[in-house]
Structures are given as C-alpha cells and as structure tokens.
Amino acid sequence: MLPALPRRRSRFPAAAALAVLAGSLAAAAALAQAPAGVPLMKEPLKGAAPAAASAAAAATPAARPGTPRTINWEALVPAGWDPFKDFKGMDFQTFDDADPRAMQFLKRMREVWDNAPANPQIAGQDVRIPGFVVPLEEGKEGVKEFLLVPYFGACIHSPPPPANQIIHVLPKSPAKGVRSMDAVWISGRLATVRTDSFMGAASYRIEATEVAPYREGGR
C-alpha cells in the first residue's frame, strides 16, 4: 500500500495539480533527447505527445572502460510505458477544485506515477546523469541524502514526476555547498531500488561516487 500523501504536498489544489501533471508528460516519457550534452530542462515541456523509450539506451554513447556512461532521463523509462494510458481523452483543464472528479483522478494518477516501472536494461550500469537536487537529509558537513529530478521545481514547486523520473541519491560523502534545486552531475552505479520519501517516490537509487556542479556538455 502506498503511504498517504504527505502534508507538504497538500498546498497543491487538486485541479491545479492535475493540470501540472498533465502538462509534464514530456518529463515522464520523452525527456532530454540530446544524447551527448544532456541539457537540463528548466521546466516540464508542454504539449508533447507520448513517446516510448525503446531506443533510449542505444541513443547514448558507450562509456570508455572505467568511466561512467552519460545517460539522459529518457533512458530511465522502460519501452512502451505510457504514463497517461489510463487517462486518455481527459481534459484536466476543465476541472476545478469543487469538482470531486479532480481529487479522484489526482489520486489515481499519483498511484500510477508513484508505481512507475524502472527500466531493467539499464540497471547495474555505472552512469552519469544531470539533474536538480531535492534534499532529504543535510547537516553542517553537507547534503547526506537527496532526490535527483529532471526539471527545476519538481517535488517542491510542483508535484513529483513519475517514480521512474526520480533517483534517490546517497553520496559517498556529504555533498558540500549543494542547495535545494542546484543543478548537478551525479556519477555512480544505478540500482532499481524503490524509495518512498516525504518528497516523492523514486524507482532508482545511486550511491554516488561524485556529485559535481552542472555545466552543460561537461563537468
């Protein structure tokens, strides 16, 4: 059974949350198409059509021996998974908060997205991926645990994306100088370990060997 939505998320009215989730379809199924630079998304793309990620792994170049392979967020989505399969034809823009259907569909969508499947073909690989930081535990020595998300504001200023678009990161040593929503590169072995946190559910975990400031196209 999924845990109840934490009170921190309750500031999103049901109708508004549905509109945001519907508008972030690209963040669920067709993210960061460029294989080399892997540019970060500042916000969810709007109005994109669903896309399978069957060629995601092949789209990114193979890493040199001993170095992590740079991947994009699309590589985390298994082939054929459609985050809106159960919601075809729904116009969430027509709902308001007085409409009981808004809360009903929001609950259904969160159940689907919080249980979004991982891509088994990429599990166990040493990877490098950029994203934005959502701290879970931090202290004087730095951030000890955080979620990595694909676009600015996810989990904080907007509802969480699907679980297969969230990575639970455990740095080898606390990440110093890292703040909420900072853009970083993460390197480490990708595992399909589910994590339920007060900020969102993650389908993946990385015990990070490196947390570095993000610079587009490089370190």
Tokens 């995601």 found at: 56
Beta strands at 69-70 and 183-191: parallel, antiparallel or unpaired: unpaired
Query: Is the model's pLDDT at 215 over the cut of 70?
Result: yes
> What are the phi and psi torsion angles at 201 (to 5°)?
-95, 135
Q: Is the distance from CB of 216 to CB of 39 less than 8 angstroms?
A: yes
**Which residues touch 151 (CB under 8 Å, ≥6 apart)?**
24, 27, 40, 41, 42, 43, 44, 132, 161
Beta strands at 204-213 and 183-191: parallel, antiparallel or unpaired: antiparallel
Number of alpha carbons in the 13 Å side-chain half-sphere of residue 38: 27
Q: Residues 111, 85, 23, 162: is their CA dihedral positive or negative?
A: positive
pLDDT tens-digit map of 33-52: 333 334 454 444 333 333 33
Domains and CATH numbers, the chain: 7-43+52-213 (2.40.50.870)
pLDDT tens-digit map of 19-37: 555 555 444 443 333 333 3
Angstrom distance (rounded) from CA 63 to CA 44? 28
CA dihedral of residues 185, 187, 192, 196 (deg, nearest 10): -50
pLDDT at 67: 84
* Report for 76-90, 148-162, 191-205: range of highest mean pLDDT: 191-205
Report percent pLDDT > 90 for the chain: 47
162-176 burial: b if 16+ Cβ within 10 Å, else e: bbbbbbbbbbeebbe
Angstrom distance (rounded) from CA 194 to CA 136? 15
**Which residues touch 142 (CB under 8 Å, ≥6 apart)?**
171, 173, 174, 175, 176, 177, 178
Please name the amino acid found at residue 160: P
DSSP letter for 78, please: P
Which of 8-22, 74-88, 93-107, 126-140 shows the lowest mean pLDDT across its residues? 8-22
pLDDT at 219: 53
pLDDT at 101: 72
Query: Is the model's pLDDT at 137 over the cut of 80?
Result: yes
